[in-house]
Amino acid sequence: MRTVLVSGAGIAGPTIAYWLKAAGYAPTLVERAPALRRGGYVIDFWGLGYDIAERMGLLPAIDRAGYHVQQMGIVDDCGRRVAGFGTRIFDELTGGRYVTLARSDLSHLLYGTIGDSTEIVFDDEIVALDERADEVRVQLRQAGERRFDLVIGADGLHSSVRRLAFGPQRAFERHLGYTVATFEAHGYHARDENTYLMYGQPGRMIGRFALHDDRTLFVFIFADHADRWPATTADQKGKLCEVYRCAHWEWPAIRNELDRADELYFDRVSQIRMDNWSRGRVALIGDAAFCVSLLAGQGSALAMISAYVLAGELARAEGRHQEAFSAYETRLRSYIGAKQRGAERFAAAFAPRTPWGLWFRNQIVRAFALPGVARLAIGRDIADKLDLPSYP
């Protein structure tokens, strides 16, 4: 039984731990947070990630936790609807296998598949890697040195494993020119069930989405080329107030909710581009290897796909890790490249930088209501052109 240390307990980490365990490996999961995270943002979940969740027996729980969005609407300064479309096209393009859910809910469901059978270490992280001929000596911040056959980085856009094994993040990160922030509020006065509402001005957008249990999710996306981002929650809130100081619609009420919020997700919108996803006995999956950007909407599914394929190739290669790592990259690289290119095209649609761009985006959204237009515009980005292998 080979030992594998997996860094990160978000989406990719629990998924690969599940499939490694099924293949006869002994995975250990390490997570620097003291517990699984709550809140964050919602994701659209479909395609091959949906298929993998089905193989893990999670579809009924995902359906209960998720939302079946019916409308996407864009409003003006006074809250009048100026564009929008019904989302039935997504059901048509995916055969009804499409759901929106909180990323943290998906993470908890995946974690539930391994929690009783896998060693999991919270509130710790990898601080050094020392690869030897037949093992990797790992230095953990709290637990000290441990030894494993393989190390898998599933620790996201700001991956520590990638930094330790491949080099600094700046060598691989491509900033797309936007920043995103989200937070939740309880008891917000306005609710539009199963509808995603967007309000925009040039270079900035506010989204509002009604969650279960009288919660509301707010999403902010704004153009930003800064080299440095505010580090503290107070400074991040200040940045949002500065960027949206001239906003209308529900901004005064949203700003009051922002002031009261205890937690705020705040990060740049970036992609990770790497020539290789593995080195020696270390491999990367999910956002750590190829982040397509938060705005792509499919990052969690891609994380699950990469976790499933890497675990499967290790099983197929009977532990010959170099062979497995090579097969993993060969199978997924062109597929992931296409998803990254699609995400770049899509990012600017959230917060067009000029009044003309905002107007043009709204015309495109209006046209989605016409038969066939949405299928032509987004069909190639929704489709998953990859055969999901079956592994021993």
User: pLDDT tens digits, residue range 137-174?
Assistant: 999 999 999 999 999 999 999 999 999 999 999 999 99
- 12-22 vs 103-112: helix crossing angle, rounded to 10: 20
Q: What is the pLDDT of residue 349?
A: 80
Q: Would you give the DSSP letter of residue 169?
A: G
Q: How far apart are CA 221 and CA 66, in angstroms?
A: 23
Q: Sign (positive/negative) of CA torsion 7, 9, 15, 21?
A: positive
Amino acid at 211: L
**What is the reported pLDDT for 259?**
96
* pLDDT given for residue 179 in this prediction: 93
| pLDDT value, residue 293 | 86
H helix or E strand, kind and range, residue 90: helix 88-94
The two tokens of residue 148 are: 């494993």
Residues 6+ apart with CB under 8 A from 180: 41, 219, 220, 221, 265, 266, 267, 268, 269, 294, 295
What DSSP state is assigned to residue 58? -
- The answer to whether the beta carbons of residues 157 and 284 sit under 8 Å apart is no
Q: Phi, psi (5° rounding) for residue 63?
A: -65, -40
The tens place of each residue's pLDDT in the chain, 392 residues long, gives: 699 999 999 999 999 999 999 999 999 999 999 999 887 788 888 888 889 999 999 999 999 999 988 888 999 999 999 988 877 777 777 777 888 898 999 999 999 999 778 999 999 999 999 999 999 999 999 999 999 999 999 999 999 999 999 999 999 999 989 999 999 999 999 999 989 999 999 999 999 999 999 999 999 999 988 777 888 999 999 999 999 999 999 999 999 999 999 999 999 899 999 999 999 999 999 999 999 987 777 889 999 999 999 999 999 999 899 999 999 999 999 999 988 887 777 777 888 889 999 998 888 888 777 656 666 666 666 667 788 888 87
Question: Which amino acid makes up residue 69?
Answer: V
Q: Which string of DSSP letters, residue by residue, matches 266-295?
A: EEEEEEE--S-SEETTEEE-THHHH---GG
> What pTM does this model have?
0.92
Supply 144's token pair: 């000290």
Residues 6+ apart with CB under 8 A from 164: 126, 127, 128, 129
Residues 6+ apart with CB under 8 A from 87: 69, 70, 71, 72
